[in-house]
Amino acid sequence: MSQSAKDVYVVSAGVSKFAKARPDKTFQAIVKEAVDYTVKDVGLEYPKFLELVDGSVASYFSDHFTRQLMAGIMAQDYLSLCPKPSHRVEGGGATGGICFQEAYKNIASGDMDICLAYGFETMSHVETWKGNEFIALASDINFDYPVGGFYSGYYAMMVVRHMMEFGTTVEQMAHVSVKNHNNAFHNSYAQKRQRLTIKDVRNSPMVAWPLTRLDICVMSDGAAACLLTSEEGLNKLEKASGKKYPRVKVRAIGRGTDAMRMSDRPHQSFEDFYKYNAMANEQDGDSKKYYKELWAKHFKYPGIHSFRAGRMASKMAYENGGIKDPLKEINFVELHDAYTSSEIQTYEDMGLCKYGEGGSFAASGKTFVPGVEYGLKLESQPVCPVNPSGGLIACGHPVGATGLMQAAFALWQLQGAIGKHFGDATLQLNNPKIGAIHSHAGTGTYVTVSLMERI
Amino acid sequence: MTHKQIIEETLDGTVLFNVPFPKNIAHLKEMSPIILKHPYHVEYLHSYGQDSPWFAGLANKKLLGTECPKCGYKHTTPKLSCMRCGAETEWKELPPEGKVHSFTVCHYGAEEFLKETPFILAMIEFEGWNTLLLSRLVGLDPQQANLKWVGTKVKPKFRRNSKFKPTDVWFVPA
Ligand SMILES: [Zn+2]
């Protein structure tokens, strides 16, 4: 990140409640719901907002689902934002996270003072298995898709390798599903509000061994929006609304990539891992000894069990944001749990625990929310709640909106406004200062990590 | 959990030529949305481009990868530009036998493959080669999936009449 980057604030956000299908409205009108909410929460009338906003970034993943090219401009004009500058971003499941970061850059570069990030996906226009086909087209169509393209299958192969390397169990994975679903029970925005047990997760139909239906997120229709500003932009909004907003800043951003084909992922040596991938909190003698022992057992990194892009994104964000010990310094994380297994893998990428400890960490209780009833015996108190909102697994995953939904939920946590927006304050954490949002595309190809901070 | 009986949603339906309309247009916003079904079928002319020799190899019962002449990196799934150093790679034959690196049993799938479920997807590793190959694994009972399958020695089988798809090759226990 450039030293000359300007401070960037997140002022408000909005989410259209995610649903299996929204035939009542077209995508533009669903986006408008999320934007109307965002503008209302700033305390402005819509015409005043239009006068002040400098431009936007649009986020949606698939042209196939909409069967409409240039959907971004159709949202832009429905929002009455023409002729202000805008562009569409696309990066698979990470599209929303990328959108947030591009809006950040518009402000940090001094190009805009007030920028609206909005995103959507309407996945109900085809039935589920056709939808899975569209998503699987986000895999190499020469070598991967025709073999039996199915994203749940790809993630299943990744976690099978994780189980082989580290002894991760399906019960540990089920803990993630129970945690996230039971959190979502208190989130009025969630698509699935169910109290589940480990048994429910394991007894639900097998989709791709060992992942069951309750290890996997669902498809949704929905939209989300987020308003980012510079210091000047914030002052302009406050002057116009007569309100004073809680100060929530974007502390740092990071982004990483990896090869589309899982088969192409490298298998690096211990030396290369320490040269390119190890984090600040893994430089001590104990950590080096721990990893040395892993490699002594023919371990390689990242292989298909870990997301090197997620590690890169986290490492960059932490280095730019001065985070040395993420588990202690970050108060909560909203991460991309399209699969319970990928939440476990992401704990490790984000340095909340070491590579190999994700399974036991998931079942330890450290990532659970204080005061929520899970019906589980957990050995540790919560330290850093992960997906306090319920995550993708319970809230839904309308791809282009997802990363912005995470930004909205993280903002409300940092503002202390969960009760106001969810209509239930159970999930409000006690005075959180720093939150991380993590957005992830197909098998870990693009990953973004953004740190938000209340000041 | 309770097992609810549900009637499957399908995309066939009735052709409709008109719908009711309120006398008072102020009531129009209460109208249900009109939902139509469109077919969406396209014929593509897809070129395998620089990957084409791999498919020609399958048609001749040869499994190919690429090797970098500069740094020696061996791509099990071919890549004509070296992933490590960027040099142009050379075609090489893979060893006759590999091992299951990871696998899954797909009980559901993309619409195109739904009728083939349950099928086994596997990542195959080859001694001395740096990357992996995605393929189907045949000859194991999909209902008996377990971690012991990892490490199973496997060999390729080829389709007699090539369809020029990566499924022209699959693996069976050696
Ligand atoms: Zn090379």
Structural domain boundaries, residue B128: 49-173
- Backbone phi, then psi, for A153, in 5-degree steps? -65, -40
Find the mean pLDDT for residues A187-216: 96
Distance between CA A147 and CA A154 in Å, rounded?
A: 11
**Residue A171 belongs to some domain of the structure:** no
Nearest CA distance, A2 vs chain B (angstrom): 28
Residue B9 pLDDT > 80? no
**Residue A141 belongs to some domain of the structure:** no
CATH of the domain at A418: 3.40.47.10
Rounded to the nearest angstrom, the distance between the alpha carbon of B67 and the centre of ligand 1 is 8
Residue B121: list chain A partners with CB under 8 A: 147-148, 150, 153, 157
Residue A3 pLDDT > 70? no
Pairing of strands A114-122, A55-59: parallel
> What pLDDT sits at residue A187?
97
Are both A239 and A296 inside the same structural domain? no
Residue with tokens 């001094």: A110
Residue A77 pLDDT > 60? yes
More confident call, A4 vs A185: A185
> What pLDDT sits at residue A314?
98
**Residue B14 belongs to some domain of the structure:** no
- 8 Å CB contact of A263 and B76: yes
The answer, for B35 touching chain A at a CB cutoff of 8 Å, is yes
Pull the structure tokens for residue A391.
């995550």
pLDDT range class, residue B1, cuts 50, 70, 90: low
Look up residue A347 and give its DSSP letter. H
In this prediction, what percent of chain A has a pLDDT beyond 70? 99
**Residue B92 belongs to some domain of the structure:** yes
CB B136, CB B170: distance < 8 Å? yes
Are both A276 and A413 inside the same structural domain? yes
pLDDT tens digits for range A416-426:
999 999 999 99
- 8 Å CB contact of B101 and A161: yes
pLDDT tens digits for range B112-171:
999 999 999 999 999 999 999 999 999 999 999 999 999 999 999 999 999 999 999 999
**Residue A305 belongs to some domain of the structure:** yes
pLDDT range class, residue B5, cuts 50, 70, 90: confident
Are both A225 and A311 inside the same structural domain? no
Residue B136: list chain A partners with CB under 8 A: 147-148
**Residue B156 belongs to some domain of the structure:** yes
pLDDT tens digits for range A375-414:
999 999 999 999 999 999 999 999 999 999 999 999 999 9
Question: Do you know the residue count of chain A?
Answer: 455
Pull the structure tokens for residue A154.
């790809």
Instruction: Report the residue of B46, B108, B152 to disrupt the A interface, i.e. the one with the largest count of A CBs within 10 Å.
Output: B108
> What pLDDT sits at residue B16?
81
CB A117, CB A56: distance < 8 Å? yes
**Residue A194 belongs to some domain of the structure:** no
Distance between CA B58 and CA B77 in Å, rounded?
A: 13
ipTM of the complex model: 0.95
Structural domain boundaries, residue A54: 9-126+219-248
**Residue A308 belongs to some domain of the structure:** yes
Residue A334 pLDDT > 80? yes
Are both A423 and A356 inside the same structural domain? yes
> What pLDDT sits at residue B115?
95
Are both A237 and A255 inside the same structural domain? no
> Number of structural domains, chain B?
1
Question: Do you know the residue count of chain B?
Answer: 174
Are both A100 and A119 inside the same structural domain? yes
Nearest CA distance, B14 vs chain A (angstrom): 17
Are both A224 and A372 inside the same structural domain? no
Are both A345 and A302 inside the same structural domain? yes
> What pLDDT sits at residue B2?
62
In a 13 Å sphere around the CA of A10, the CA atoms on its Cβ side amount to 32
- 8 Å CB contact of B111 and A133: yes
Are both A230 and A294 inside the same structural domain? no
Are both A268 and A239 inside the same structural domain? no
- 8 Å CB contact of A164 and B102: yes
Are both A300 and A241 inside the same structural domain? no
The answer, for A143 touching chain B at a CB cutoff of 8 Å, is yes
**Residue B39 belongs to some domain of the structure:** no
Residue with tokens 């090869």: A259
Scanning A112-131 for CB atoms below 8 A from B yields 127, 129-130
**Residue A155 belongs to some domain of the structure:** no
> Number of structural domains, chain A?
2
**Residue A185 belongs to some domain of the structure:** no
Distance between CA A135 and CA A155 in Å, rounded?
A: 13
Distance between CA A17 and CA A3 in Å, rounded?
A: 38
**Residue B16 belongs to some domain of the structure:** no
Residue A209: list chain B partners with CB under 8 A: 104-105, 107, 145
pTM: 0.96
Given A202, A233, A248, the domain boundary residue is: A248
